[in-house]
Amino acid sequence: TTLKIKTSTGIAPVKAYTYRSSASKVGICCTVAQAGDPAFVAAVAAKGTGWLRFDAFWAYIETSQGSYSWGTLDAAINTTIAAGMKPLVIIQTTPQWVSGSATVTMGPVTAAARTAYANFCRTLALRYMEKLGGLEIWNEANLEAFWKPTPSVADYIALARPAVARLVVRLVALQ
């Protein structure tokens, strides 16, 4: 299958990635800690679950610009895969060094914050793309619980466009 991705230089064909697995199409959402717990993951896999959806908390992974702590996410992804399931990772939360706020659910609404988020998405993709079943740009950005101070469709679209562009660049590189 070939996807056609619109870029600033025109339309680029991108071969679609097909995840080959005998795993079920059924999945559950859990915490990143649960996804890294072999006993939890084994119990979920034994029920026929094929996917685990969990967070990659940007605020806790990149606590200062360019300094990453991947241990918890590494464990979650590797444990999920070892159990024969596909990880679906949600990239969300904003570090204080980006937002200026201790509230990690602040939406990245400035141009600089959106660029930093897109760069983090690319860094995460470079590290994990061959292992992931999928990536999700933020979680429920329409709810104030996940996007403070006020959810905004325009702000979410402004965040998603550069993030997806950085991810598409990585997908093309894998072809």
Cα–Cα dist 105/67, whole Å: 20
Question: What pLDDT score does 16 carry?
Answer: 45
14 pLDDT band, cuts 50/70/90, is very low
- Could you give the percent of the chain with pLDDT greater than 90? 56
pLDDT digits (tens, 9 = 90+) for 109-129: 999 999 999 999 999 988 998
Question: What pLDDT score does 24 carry?
Answer: 66
pLDDT digits (tens, 9 = 90+) for 70-115: 999 999 999 999 999 999 999 999 999 999 999 988 889 999 999 9
Contacts of 53 (CB under 8 A, 6+ apart): 27, 28, 29, 30, 87, 88, 89, 90, 136
pLDDT digits (tens, 9 = 90+) for 139-157: 888 888 888 888 899 998 9
